[in-house]
Amino acid sequence: MSTGIAASIVSDPSRAFAALANVGDLTKATIPTPALIVDLDSLESNIKKMAEHCRQAKCAFRPHAKTHKCPEIARRQIAAGAVGICAATVPEAEALAAAGIRGILLTSPIVDAGKIARMVAIAASAGGAGSVMLSVGHLREATLLAEAAVAAKVNLDVLVDLDVGDKRTGSLPGEPAVELARQIAKSKRLTIRGVQAYAGHASHTVGFEARQKVSREAIAKAALTKALLAKDGFDAKILSGGSTGTYNIDSAIDGMTELQVGSYVFMDVDYRRIGGRDGQAVYADFQPSLTVLTTVVSTTHAERVTVDAGTKAIDTTTTHRPEAKNWPGLVYARAGDEFGAVTSEGGGKLPAIGERVEFIVPHCDPNVNLYDRLYACRGDRVEAIWPVAARRESGAANSR
Amino acid sequence: MSTGIAASIVSDPSRAFAALANVGDLTKATIPTPALIVDLDSLESNIKKMAEHCRQAKCAFRPHAKTHKCPEIARRQIAAGAVGICAATVPEAEALAAAGIRGILLTSPIVDAGKIARMVAIAASAGGAGSVMLSVGHLREATLLAEAAVAAKVNLDVLVDLDVGDKRTGSLPGEPAVELARQIAKSKRLTIRGVQAYAGHASHTVGFEARQKVSREAIAKAALTKALLAKDGFDAKILSGGSTGTYNIDSAIDGMTELQVGSYVFMDVDYRRIGGRDGQAVYADFQPSLTVLTTVVSTTHAERVTVDAGTKAIDTTTTHRPEAKNWPGLVYARAGDEFGAVTSEGGGKLPAIGERVEFIVPHCDPNVNLYDRLYACRGDRVEAIWPVAARRESGAANSR
């Protein structure tokens, strides 16, 4: 990967970032806070480790961009051997396609004509089937997709989205999924390539053995459905699913063909608490690379200081708290939309006014979603600024 | 205010929104979801009602832009009679100044030279003292500010920021604040204009009488401090503070000169639950104008449906849940980063696949922070698309 000042000017048509030529001067002492930081050494280590695991396990991987929404990181995942990239939203798919990424799998259902047309447009511009796949779990989506594919004369690959236990999206596995596949296949423009099964309830199960049990049960339903599809005459080779929490479980399951791992690039407090394979309390397979850099802006009270990062800067929706990096004993508590209150366990020293503290975030995906840019740092130095290019419906109104 | 297609093309140098000339065709049936909606009739009613209240109460108001981060709404507040606009961050202040807003008060502390320089630059370009004020609660900020003001040859107005009970920012009231003012006044470039007191703990106190008690106690400390400053020879006329929850309490307190009301333009579930003046359970002084528009994307299970708005689209950090607008009995529960699970109390009818549901958000400020644009609607029709122009440190690296 290229580094340095040249690499910092990452083009992104959806954002108007002016000249960043002075990025080489920026350090963690001068970045305006609150800021989202990615540690490049840790990021690169994580990308390499997952790629090596999948190579050894003979299981492909199609990492999920919902975690980072960052074409630059997607390019690095592809360079490391990923077969493509998953997207959770149409704007994510558009940003990835615009950055030249191929093998985009939209993992979420879409059921309105506008978004369907946008996905078909991506497929048309990227070369049709193979460049874009959609996960379909309801006949309504299949119908809209077939109409749009016929109108645009584009062929599309489809995975049958399965609900293997988290009750969010997808067809029930088994016969309902096979029947949906038969309906989808009535369109000559749509080709069933396999199934998708995301077991959200497995990914954060605490304890390796417990996690393995939940994930195996969930994925078994998907493997069985894939076999039923094959028996019914479909060319259903793909079983796409899994997560950072179950990567080394799922890659060993018979029938699993590719992992949709996302958080491994960044890690977060929630994932660090699920426990490691050999009974460790901390799940340390991957290194925490994502932090929010904050500044102490008030020290009026002896027992607590205030930092400039509240609800708008650190996602605290989940149960775990942010963890101070390199400052044991500091405890962060939300203190409104703009501020955090920081205390010290055991009465240890607190940071002074103007001092900066980095926090590992509780949950990486929604935290990235709060920012427009990632400061990519090597040690304390900013090596590049990467746009978070695919936030929600940004830029979407023009491409209905 | 102008309306219609012409009004939709709101210029914003920090964003690259392409031609929105077809905004007139957009309706709530075609806006890509999830989307942030503001109902113009309710917004206009809220802006008018607060302005009329303040006029009658003979109390000025300087509404807080941390709620909307939207120069177009700030312009409407100024047009209704506001004496200026508050900002919680430097990027907010920059966006407001760029939109021609004067009387900007930065309500949060900043303690690094880069941000101080940016505020001084705003003041210099906007005409110096009177155009920009800063709230200062620590000697460190005063020192940096004095140095920058001298270097830029700019005069600046300062409020002494007071901690009146929420322990987040500001000097302790009374003698410590007077001593801080004396230190600040050593710089000829800095002029003390009064005090700021935000009682975050009062704004959401449930029950009018209880809320009145908490707010009066907090503001009394600020009024006393302002009197001490005057006695010490300062031209301390301003007492700025208050909130949407206490606007009709604080505007009647002796010594209060301006309200920093924010949420009243949008309202939210949290504020609707604090109770009204005459004992009503619902605080209905202002109308809920802000919603998130969602689409039902999965209906696999009879007892629940899935909508396309999760943690990334609806802030659920606070305790209350989103409330379905115009659909009694629907209950929203977070179902991960991308989805929400919707059930019906008492087994009522659930929306069908592809159907759209609007939710009043629990807490408006962080919810706006999740979006880049507001769809301003009159009934079901989109009348304008307003950029959320001042999200966090967007565009800041260039202006260190």
Chain A residues within 8 A of B14 when measuring between CB atoms = 16
Q: Does domain B41-266 fall into CATH 3.20.20.10? A: yes
Q: Which residue of A has its CA nearest to B115?
A: A32
Is the model's pLDDT at B1 over the cut of 70?
A: no
Report the residue from B108, B112, B311 with minimal CB separation from A338. B108
Question: What's the gap in Å between the CA of A241 and the closest CA on chain B?
Answer: 16
In this prediction, residue B22 carries a pLDDT of 61
The reply to whether residue B394 touches residue A400, judged by beta carbons under 8 angstroms, is: no
B313 touches chain A (CB under 8 A): yes
B41-266 has the same fold as B5-39+284-387: no
In this prediction, residue B59 carries a pLDDT of 98
Name which residue leads in pLDDT, B395 or A219.
Answer: A219
The reply to whether residue A108 touches residue B297, judged by beta carbons under 8 angstroms, is: yes
B202 touches chain A (CB under 8 A): no
Closest CA to A217 of A181, A186, A250, A190: A250
Confidence of residue B391 (pLDDT cuts 50, 70, 90): low
In this prediction, residue A395 carries a pLDDT of 39
In this prediction, residue B129 carries a pLDDT of 61
Dump strand ranges (E) for chain B: 35-39, 60-61, 85-87, 104-106, 132-136, 156-162, 190-197, 238-241, 258-259, 290-301, 304-307, 323-324, 330-334, 340-344, 356-360, 373-378, 381-387
In this prediction, residue B320 carries a pLDDT of 95
The reply to whether residue A338 touches residue B14, judged by beta carbons under 8 angstroms, is: no
In this prediction, residue B281 carries a pLDDT of 94
Tens digit of each residue's pLDDT, chain A (400 residues): 333 333 333 333 333 333 344 677 899 999 999 999 999 999 999 999 999 999 999 999 999 999 999 999 999 999 999 999 999 999 999 999 999 999 999 999 999 999 999 999 999 997 766 689 999 999 999 999 999 999 999 999 999 999 999 999 999 999 999 999 999 999 999 999 999 999 888 999 999 999 999 999 999 999 999 999 999 999 999 999 999 999 999 999 999 999 999 999 999 999 999 999 989 999 999 999 999 999 999 999 999 999 999 999 999 999 899 999 999 999 999 999 999 999 999 889 999 999 999 999 999 999 999 999 999 999 999 999 999 987 655 433 332 2
- Residue B50, CA atoms < 13 Å, CB-side half-sphere: 38
In this prediction, residue B316 carries a pLDDT of 96
The reply to whether residue A312 touches residue B17, judged by beta carbons under 8 angstroms, is: no
Q: Residue B384 corresponds to which tokens in the numbers above?
A: 């304008």
Name which residue leads in pLDDT, B21 or A331.
Answer: A331
What are the sequence ranges of the domains in chain B? 5-39+284-387, 41-266
In this prediction, residue B361 carries a pLDDT of 97
Q: For domain A40-266, which CATH number applies: 3.40.50.720, 3.90.105.10, 3.30.300.20, 3.20.20.10? A: 3.20.20.10
Chain A residues within 8 A of B306 when measuring between CB atoms = 168-169
In this prediction, residue A6 carries a pLDDT of 30
Confidence of residue B346 (pLDDT cuts 50, 70, 90): confident
In this prediction, residue A394 carries a pLDDT of 42
The reply to whether residue A338 touches residue B30, judged by beta carbons under 8 angstroms, is: no
In this prediction, residue A21 carries a pLDDT of 40
Q: What is the pLDDT of residues B85-136, one digit of tens each?
A: 999 999 999 999 999 999 999 999 999 999 999 999 999 997 766 689 999 9
Chain B residues within 8 A of A365 when measuring between CB atoms = 311-312, 337
pTM over 0.80, yes/no: yes
The reply to whether residue B111 touches residue A353, judged by beta carbons under 8 angstroms, is: yes
In this prediction, residue B58 carries a pLDDT of 98
Q: Indicate the CATH number for domain A4-39+284-387.
A: 2.40.37.20
In this prediction, residue B200 carries a pLDDT of 85
| Helix A208-231 with A175-184: angle, nearest 10 deg | 50
Q: Which residue of A has its CA nearest to B166?
A: A335
Question: What's the gap in Å between the CA of B364 and the closest CA on chain A?
Answer: 10
In this prediction, residue A356 carries a pLDDT of 98
Confidence of residue B395 (pLDDT cuts 50, 70, 90): very low
Class of domain B5-39+284-387: mainly beta
Cα torsion B101, B105, B107, B113: sign: positive
Average pLDDT taken over every residue of chain B: 91
Q: What is the pLDDT of residues B232-261, one digit of tens each?
A: 999 999 999 999 999 999 999 999 999 999
Chain B residues within 8 A of A298 when measuring between CB atoms = 109, 137-138, 168-170
